[in-house]
């Protein structure tokens, strides 16, 4: 299926994004990126485990050429990020792929044993997290952009 051939992101869930961003910037020899917050539910329409959720996150993105390193600090209500942090502590949360057909990509991952756990919108597109740790060994994020990719 088109879209699964190019990994675009690896994401870490962290307890303190300011500290994590500073340490990663030092390691990578770059400036710490700006920290942004995801929008409120009225814009994201986020669902977690099939129910609307006000879960949000602080985000920082390090552009490493072909792959982006994303840092995520959960805030607000229930989310895949807060669930991961509570169960596992800080660590690698997901890998991400850009896809042309979100629904087809979700179905494909479900066929391989994945479970859709969260989805929502962001300015310019939408995302979905499919937990395929039992079969593929990873949570996979699918990114769909309405226009050309911005970051």
User: What token pair was written down for 83?
Assistant: 């669930």
Q: State how far the Cα of 70 lies from the Cα of 94, in Å rounded to an integer.
A: 10
Asked if residue 150 belongs to a domain, the reply is: no
Asked if residue 14 belongs to a domain, the reply is: yes
Task: Read off the DSSP letter of residue 15.
Answer: S
pLDDT tens track for 115-137: 999 999 999 999 999 999 999 99
Asked if residue 72 belongs to a domain, the reply is: yes
Identify the helix (H) or strand (E) that includes residue 81: helix 80-88
Can you give the CATH number for the domain in which 115 is found? 3.10.180.10
Q: In terms of DSSP bridges, do strands 36-37 and 55-63 run parallel, antiparallel, or are they unpaired? A: antiparallel
pLDDT tens track for 72-107: 999 999 999 999 999 999 999 999 999 999 999 999
- Specify which residues 70 forms β-bridges with: 11, 61
Asked if residue 39 belongs to a domain, the reply is: yes
Asked if residue 1 belongs to a domain, the reply is: no
Tally the domains of the chain. Answer: 1
pTM: predicted TM-score of the whole model, two decimal places: 0.93
């Amino acid at each position: 299926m088109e879209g699964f051939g190019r990994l675009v992101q690896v994401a870490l869930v962290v307890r303190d994004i300011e500290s994590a961003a500073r340490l990663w910037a030092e390691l990578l020899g770059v400036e710490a990126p700006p920290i942004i917050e995801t929008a409120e539910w009225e814009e994201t329409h986020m669902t977690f485990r099939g129910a609307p959720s006000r879960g949000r996150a602080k985000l920082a993105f390090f552009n490493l050429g072909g792959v982006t390193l994303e840092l995520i600090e959960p805030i607000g209500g229930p989310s895949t990020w807060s669930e991961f942090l509570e169960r596992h502590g800080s660590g690698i949360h997901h890998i991400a792929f850009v896809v042309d057909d979100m629904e087809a990509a979700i179905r494909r991952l479900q066929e391989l044993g994945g479970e859709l756990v969260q989805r929502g919108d962001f300015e310019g597109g939408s995302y979905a997290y499919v937990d395929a740790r039992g079969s593929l060994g990873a949570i996979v994020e699918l990114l769909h952009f309405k226009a050309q990719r911005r970051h």
